[in-house]
Amino acid sequence: MRGRPHSEAMIELFREDPLYAEHLLNTILKDGDQEELMDFLLLITAALAPDQPPPTHFTLLATLRSLGLRLSVTQAPLNERPTLEEMTESVERVERWGCRGGGY
């Protein structure tokens, strides 16, 4: 016997337990990557706002707002902060993408 798809199970879980969805989002924001975040947003949108279009990184804040969620930022512990070299690489990568602020 084959079980149902993982996405269907997660959508049902998010509908039944929004606090779990909140906890999972915070975990992804703390330890995850962009792909995990986008996967979460697709599932939570399907669970709680099925009439919303699929989210993109450009609609992240709008999607979260429509779900009654907000993004929060805190300082990482010192041992998790990037080095100056890593920060410089990140800034250069963003500049290559042409995302210098205000374009969203």
Q: What is the mean pLDDT of residues 8-34?
A: 89
Cα gap 56→22, rounded to integer Å: 19
Name the domain count of the chain: 1
In a domain, 103, yes or no: no
> How many helices (H) and strands (E) in the chain?
5, 0
Is this structure's pTM higher than 0.85? no
In a domain, 87, yes or no: no
DSSP code for 57: G
Q: From residue 10, how far is each of 21, 38, 58, 102 by CA, in Å?
A: 9, 14, 24, 34
In a domain, 80, yes or no: no
In a domain, 82, yes or no: no
In a domain, 47, yes or no: yes
In a domain, 70, yes or no: yes
pLDDT digits (tens, 9 = 90+) for 35-65: 898 888 888 888 877 777 776 666 777 777 7
Identify the domain containing residue 58 by its residue range: 6-75
Cα gap 44→25, rounded to integer Å: 10
In a domain, 93, yes or no: no
